[in-house]
Amino acid sequence: MDLWIRLWMVIFILCILLFTGVAIYVGLGGLKDIKALFHKMNTSPKANTGHSDNSLKSKP
Amino acid sequence: MHLIPSNFGLLDWLIVFVYMTITLSVGLYVNKYIKNMEDYLVAGRALKTRLAVATMIGSELGLVTVMYSAQKGFTGGFAAFHIAVIAGLVTFIVGITGFIVVPLRRLGVMTIPEFYEKRFSRGVRVFGGLLLALAGVLNMGLFLKAGALFVTGLTGLTDTNSVAIVMTIMLGLVIAYTIMGGMVSVVVTDYIQFVVLSFGMILICGISVFALGWSTIVDTVISVHGESGFNPVLEGSGFGPTYIMWMIFTAGIVSCAVWQTSVMRACAAESVVVVRRMYMWSSIGFLIRFMVPQFLGICALTYFFNISEFRDLFFDKTGNPSNNPTITLQAMPLFLSQILPTGIIGLIGAGFLAAFMSTHDSYLLCWASVLTQDVIAPITNDKLTTKSRLIISRIFILVIGLFLLVWGFLYDLGQDLWDYMAVSGAIYFIGAFAVLSTGLYWKRASTVGAYLALVVGVGAVAGLGPVNKALNLEKYSSAEIGLSMTLVALVMMFIGSLVFPDRRRVE
């Protein structure tokens, strides 16, 4: 049981540290991506028929 | 449960109100960017990696996930961590290999049933779409109930009518901005939620460890669960090898590569490179979304076990956790209401409530889109205009919202919430896994095989608590039923495809 206790403690601490790093990276970078998203959607063409690309309709 | 007073005060309500107002305003504001159906459903396929990761984690890190994971931590101890580790590892592997999600993104589909039509037939798309939406709506049927339990536990509201009103207002707000803004508002509100919840959850973990002490937490789990509180492989731990296999399939493969809400994010990504990166980066989020709430559930166990006046509420006379799922679900929010100070509790509460709204918006949009694009549109031979599709999607969002109100307060849970979620989702994903994996990677997969696999998947309903009892199948766990049906679905897919190959392929 001691092995499991140590294992879960190490995994938990490592994951929290890793996630903190991801949260900072994604939190800061996500803002830039939102601006890029709005810019791209502003410059994209208007209405379509609601289909995705049906030219791909073929069996793999 | 209302015997326990909460630290939640007037300042906290104010924080919640301001937070909700900002989120709602942003959700409504981005409506101006919607020009067509692709913008509405997949944000114009313009998501870059970091935003895609934020929205993927933000959407999957919902209040319901937090509630059922905390319940698993409370009832299973540290052994429940295996679910988190599996979810993270499998998502990372899917990111490296691109299993299912990369070929789907290459095909340019918006929903999984759309792939069914490209690969098999329009009939498979309609049938698969209907199953997906029905299972999906059933799967989110208890979201409102879980949310209500959270609000009651955290805020100290005791009047059930007040809780019902709060939840209904929140659902109304979600429906409003989802109807208006589609995927763009979902993405932006997911981002806000990701930022608040990520740092909020890290903060709560720190406060909990500081308040309780790591050694007290470990000692309490040993007292309550013994070795089974740490070793998930141990028979009788409530988990065991079969359960772990079931988790590899459900919490691992399905939740990131087969579940429509995750696949929608892959479909909305800018390119397949972004899809792979998104999955690799999100893997830590998929792990944390289980692990941190499970840890909070363990902390709740520790807190209530060591205070004699509360122990009887959560534990039986032998010291085992209560068998009542409603009580074990409420342990985590009640714990937070005790240890978090005023101000912090309001911010965390607002974050979780935003998470509640965020999950709802994603799921509402997802199932309404599937019903519109994959059931109604094909039936009408794709004659619907973009405007008609948007109107139909919005009507479906409203109807599903009303269903949630009724189902959430009527259904008697009778099992852990996570197990309910896994089983109700399995009605769709067992068949879908067989159809997707063979359809993408096996040339001989046929339409008849696809139908057979989808029909077999419905058998997973036998794992739901009330159905399981009604069919007298209580000796079989939901994990055993789910895994068996998965194997049968794959076998039927192969047999159906070999015996009834598609005519076009034979010619």
At A1-29, the pLDDT tens digits run 889 999 999 999 999 999 899 889 888 88
SS (H, E, C) chain A: CHHHHHHHHHHHHHHHHHHHHHHHHHHHHHHHHHHHHHHHHHHCCCCCCCCCCHHHCCCC
pLDDT number for residue A53: 37
Q: Which residues contact B316 (CB under 8 A, 6 or more apart)?
A: B322, B323
Distance (Å, rounded) from C-alpha B274 to C-alpha B186? 19
Query: Which domains are assigned to chain B?
Result: 10-414 (1.20.1730.10)
Tokens at B471, concatenated: 């069919």
Please list the rounded mean pLDDT of every run of 10 residues in chain B (507 residues): 73 88 77 62 64 77 86 93 94 92 86 90 92 88 80 76 70 70 71 85 92 94 92 83 90 86 77 86 87 95 90 85 85 91 87 78 81 88 81 86 80 70 83 93 94 89 73 79 90 95 66
Q: Considering Cα of B194, then B200, then B203, then B207, what sign does the dihedral take?
A: negative
Collapse the DSSP code of B269 into the 3-class scheme (helix H, G, I; strand E, B; otherwise coil) and give the result: strand
Residue B38 · residue B369 · CB < 8 Å: no
- The DSSP letter of residue B61 is S
Task: Out of B33, B47, B384, name the one closest to residue A50 (CB).
Answer: B384
Task: Out of B108, B389, B502, name the one closest to residue A53 (CB).
Answer: B108
pLDDT number for residue B424: 79
On chain B, the residues whose CB falls within 8 A of the CB of A40 are 44, 46
- Which residue in chain A has the smallest CA separation from B269? A37
Say if A19 is an interface residue toward chain B (CB within 8 Å): yes
Name the residue among B37, B36, B34 with its Cα closest to residue B376. B37
pLDDT number for residue B181: 59
In which residue are the tokens 């029905």 written? B134
Say if B284 is an interface residue toward chain A (CB within 8 Å): yes
Collapse the DSSP code of B321 into the 3-class scheme (helix H, G, I; strand E, B; otherwise coil) and give the result: strand
Name the residue among B379, B313, B315 with its Cα closest to residue B117. B379
In which residue are the tokens 């590899």 written? B248
| Cα atoms found within 13 Å of the Cα of residue B283, Cβ hemisphere only | 19
Distance (Å, rounded) from C-alpha B86 to C-alpha A32? 32
Name the residue among B400, B447, B443, B429 with its Cα closest to residue B489. B429
ipTM value of the model? Answer: 0.81
Distance (Å, rounded) from C-alpha B334 to C-alpha B311? 13
Collapse the DSSP code of B320 into the 3-class scheme (helix H, G, I; strand E, B; otherwise coil) and give the result: coil
Rg of the Cα trace of chain A? 22
Say if B489 is an interface residue toward chain A (CB within 8 Å): no
Contact at CB, A49 and B502, closer than 8 angstroms: no
Say if B29 is an interface residue toward chain A (CB within 8 Å): no
Contact at CB, A27 and B109, closer than 8 angstroms: no
Question: Is the full-model pTM beyond 0.90?
Answer: no
Residue A9 · residue B209 · CB < 8 Å: no
Collapse the DSSP code of B315 into the 3-class scheme (helix H, G, I; strand E, B; otherwise coil) and give the result: strand
Name the residue among B217, B209, B226 with its Cα closest to residue B319. B226
Say if A27 is an interface residue toward chain B (CB within 8 Å): yes
**Count of all residues that appear for chain A in the document:** 60
Name the residue among B116, B38, B42, B443 with its Cα closest to residue A57. B116
Residue B319 · residue B312 · CB < 8 Å: no
Distance (Å, rounded) from C-alpha A22 to C-alpha B220? 31
Q: Considering Cα of A22, then A24, then A27, then A29, what sign does the dihedral take?
A: negative
How many other β-carbons are positioned within 10 Å of the β-carbon of residue B186?
30
CA angle, residues A27, A36, B39, in degrees to nearest 5:
105
The larger pLDDT score, comparing residue B167 to residue A47, is at B167
Contact at CB, A5 and B214, closer than 8 angstroms: no
pLDDT number for residue A47: 47
Helix or strand holding residue B436 (H, E): helix B417-441
